Structure 1
């Protein structure tokens, strides 16, 4: 295990030309206090979690003291925000400290989020508030627990420096990790400013670092194959979001990862009652990023990326063909995930209709998405009735669907115990509902970080039965059904 002093940095992004970033030192703000450290993320860096007991741990992960080997930079990018192109964005409140290489040869970029102003902060202050930092800290680890590609959270540091939003709030700094934080918007920036040579160099850098299987191909073929892989990863990611009932809330192109990771947790939300048109972002008046619009927006964002890459990929037919593969790839992944959630071991005619009719039942009666699927895990083929039946106002409608479902299971020789165990590994019992996050935030603001720790442990193993976890699987109370989150969250 490594100490803070011997993390192995290899900062390849910082060795790109200055056009890609600005060198910016963190700006200390208030007195830092370590609020939480995540041992699972420490393991990614081979970092001994016991290092968190050091007096300088909070100093180093809040920007008050440097980490040996770090080279802080803020990267520049652009992006389409709610469909409107913004010519320059960039890391406005995040600093890339560098790239830590672990003993397995894996490369993890380390970012401080909330460490102060950068040239790309625009009218912001470069700070993050405790509430939004806790939300990202918890949700990135919750998504990892669900098996969904995501950035990771290393630690959470609070400071007593004020941050001015609608009210004066407490500041915090999140240290997050990812193999790369490069976004679609990085390529848009160089394309729209007429610098295709910079887009080409960045593409080749990303391919060499993160798509090594393509490295031996000729240049034109390599870049086209890379874009096709980005399409596939994005299709798979959004299918996974839809399967667990996750709404991102701000699917701007500058929030889309080139590696197919879930990136930037602002106004996100998991479904409680199943409403396909669920809008989790209070700022999204038109519902552009509603839950049921995410697959369409994924295609739109990939089309924007293709447009940015067109100057450096001469085979435009290959770009179009790759983009045309998005919809069938997404639909295939989605159908496979939903079939698995129903415990179907084989693919048969009528499966898609069976799945869609189940979703229609959930939507018609506003049933809880996560709990509804989890309850199906307990269905026994020879049972006269299922407990979920009592939660459906139209019991005849449920009975009709359940008869079709059990007949389908019998047709493939499904065995209750085997199927139920398989379904419990596919349908989580716990997701980060907004009211759970809000409860943890309020307690943390009062000085009690115990709830953050307890909730994190449950979310890191969301398919397991936790002896004291019943409250975390409950549907939200009335006050928890109307929590508004926005782009400032």
Structure 2
């Protein structure tokens, strides 16, 4: 069972300084003309001891970026490279964000507060370093929904409207601006390692490996450090890809600079939830080849992890151990995919061929039918079909007969939470996202967003039971 966030005292850290100045650039936050607090995530602020901040203090720290006590005295723009749609780009890095603070959570994990839209850095290139308010709203919705659906994700910590009119080519302009803060378990990316490999910096590579092993995985470095780090990323990446599939989620931009070494999902741009089980469904209009389509996300994450293995060759003499670890991604992904689908169905694994049979029947039925993903998992939660449902006619098909037959091997249980008696599941399709934004944009009405966040969290409670 997933445990809800627990309260913690504030315990600041400055551990990123262990890496040294070759890994980041001190920067200043932009001076914004306005600061209107639109969202503060007190549920997760409590886990790092910051929930007691007044709104004025919150704005001072997360809008004006006055340093928090005991942590980083100045924001740091992290340096990294990355493959973007399989094309290597050495000219990227934190271009509109920075690492603002580090601290411990209630589990004693090292946590980062990073920004998006906080101003220009040495890596902004031709960008303005800003974030649209719509982009911030979309990230709230993405992270809240993914958290409820059991995906390890960054948390949208704060959103403050900043009073600037931004010009964008891909949406109506001028548009409102914002600055966002996210909470995550580290901001080191695969692209961070790629940069060191490109510049042939073995000492810094060893330093980074040791940093990640110690502070993210609780291990000390040694002769096999590159292999152990890669094994963690392979296993975590497989779970991440599987979680996306069970959630019906399409990240949209799974470049190697968007894959954190902790494999916690983060950085949401053109994301979407696919309404139906469409393997070729894409989130980004610029993904014209479907490289990051729904059913290709495991392939994309696997490819990115292979680039990490290539980078680690800088300090790893033998390639075979790294190759073997990367090749192990497939079996780990299949196991994780099965586990996540059973979790979303709310049934306990039987650890036998019954699990595979049920998984196969469910995926086939979803692929061949017109039922929405959320509707199916809502109607069949707990190992039995409940109703009445608008999809009852679809459930009479042969494909769903196979699902019903496969479920007979499982002990059906009526879900206890009142959510499962609602008329419809809580979903997050593009039409609703646009409707929520339209109310904000046209009438400055935040009611729909607040109500949606509450509904998502209620669903999350039901999923945890």
TM-score (norm 1): 0.84
Aligned length: 444
Aligned residue in 2 for 1:323:
326
Structure-2 change in CA distance of 1:415 and 1:109 (3 Å): closer
Equivalence for 1:255: 258
Task: Decide whether the 8 Å contact of 2:98 with 2:116 is kept in 1.
Answer: yes
| 1:408 counterpart = 2:406 | yes
CA distance in 2, matches of 1:186, 1:415: 47
After superposition, give the CA deviation of every residue in 1:280-337 in whole Å (9 maximum; x if it has no partner): 1111011100001111111111111100111112332211111111000000111222
Question: Which runs of 5 or more structure 1 residues have no equivalent in the other structure?
Answer: 1-5, 467-489
Partner of 1:437: 433
2:184 is aligned with 1:178: yes
Worse overlay, 247-256 or 435-444: 435-444
Question: Which ranges of structure 2 fall in alignment gaps of 5 or more residues?
Answer: 1-8
Q: Secondary structure at the match of 2:98?
A: strand
Q: Distance in 1 between matches of 2:459 and 2:233?
A: 28
- Residue 11 of structure 1 deviates from its aligned partner by 1.3
Instruction: Tell me the alpha carbon deviations over residues 142-175 of structure 1, each in whole angstroms, 9 at most, x when there is no partner.
Output: 2222221111121110011121213111110111
- Check if 1:164 corresponds to 2:160: no
Counterpart of 1:19 in 2: which secondary structure? helix
Q: CA deviation at 1:355?
A: 2.8
- Residue 350 of structure 2 is aligned to residue 346 of structure 1: yes
Corresponding residue for 1:267?
270
Are 1:63 and 1:115, in contact at CA under 8 Å, matched by a contact in 2?
Answer: no
Compared with structure 1, are the counterparts of its residues 347 and 87 closer, same or farther at alpha carbon in structure 2 (3 Å cutoff)?
Answer: same
Q: Structure 1 residue 88: deviation in Å?
A: 2.6
Contact 1:379 / 1:386 at 8 angstroms: preserved in 2? no
**What residue number does 2:5 align with?**
none
CA contact (8 A) 2:200 2:314 kept: no
Q: Is 1:206 the counterpart of 2:204 in the alignment?
A: no
Cα distance, 1:197 vs structure 2: 1.8
1:437 CA displacement: 2.3
Aligned counterparts of 1:396 and 1:110: Cα–Cα separation in 2: 49
User: Which of 114, 117, 126 is matched with 1:123 structurally?
Assistant: 126
Are residues 1:110 and 2:113 paired?
A: yes
Q: Secondary structure in 2 aligned to 1:186?
A: helix
Who is 1:306 aligned against?
A: 309
Q: Determine whether 1:58 maps to 2:59.
A: yes
1:25 partner SS: coil
d(CA) in 1 for partners of 2:396, 2:63 = 55
Matched ranges for 1:277-426 at <5 A: 277-342=280-345, 343=347, 345-349=349-353, 351-377=355-381, 380=384, 387=389, 390-392=392-394, 395-398=396-399, 401-402=400-401, 404-411=402-409, 414-417=411-414, 420=415
Task: Tell me what 1:240 maps to.
Answer: 243
C-alpha separation between the residues in 2 aligned to 1:299 and 1:131?
Answer: 31
Counterpart check, 1:459 vs 2:456: yes
Q: Is the 8 A contact 2:146 2:247 kept in 1?
A: no
Q: Is the 8 A contact 2:84 2:255 kept in 1?
A: yes
* SS of structure 1 residue aligned to 2:223: helix
> Do the aligned partners of 1:431 and 1:462 also contact (CA within 8 Å) in 2?
no
CA contact (8 A) 1:269 1:280 kept: yes
Distance 1:63-1:222 versus aligned 2 partners, 3 A rule: same
Post-superposition CA distance 1:32-77 (Å, at most 9, x none): 111121111211211134x2332x4323212364444432110010
Structure 1, 282-291 or 364-373: larger mean CA deviation: 364-373
Check the 8 A contact 1:137/1:174 in 2, yes or no: no
CA RMSD of aligned residues (A): 2.6
* 1:114 CA drift (Å): 0.7
Distance in 2 of aligned mates of 1:186 and 1:287: 26
2:88 to 73, 79, 85: 85
1:116 positional shift? 0.5
Task: Name the residue aligned to 1:225.
Answer: 228
Tell whether 2:26 aligns with 1:23. Answer: yes
Q: Distance in 2 between matches of 1:103 and 1:345?
A: 30
CA separation of 1:433 and 1:14: change in aligned 2, threshold 3 A: farther
Q: Using a 3 Å threshold, how does the CA distance of structure 1 residues 64 and 222 change in structure 2: closer, same or farther?
A: closer
Q: Which of 428, 436, 446 is the matching residue for 1:449?
A: 446
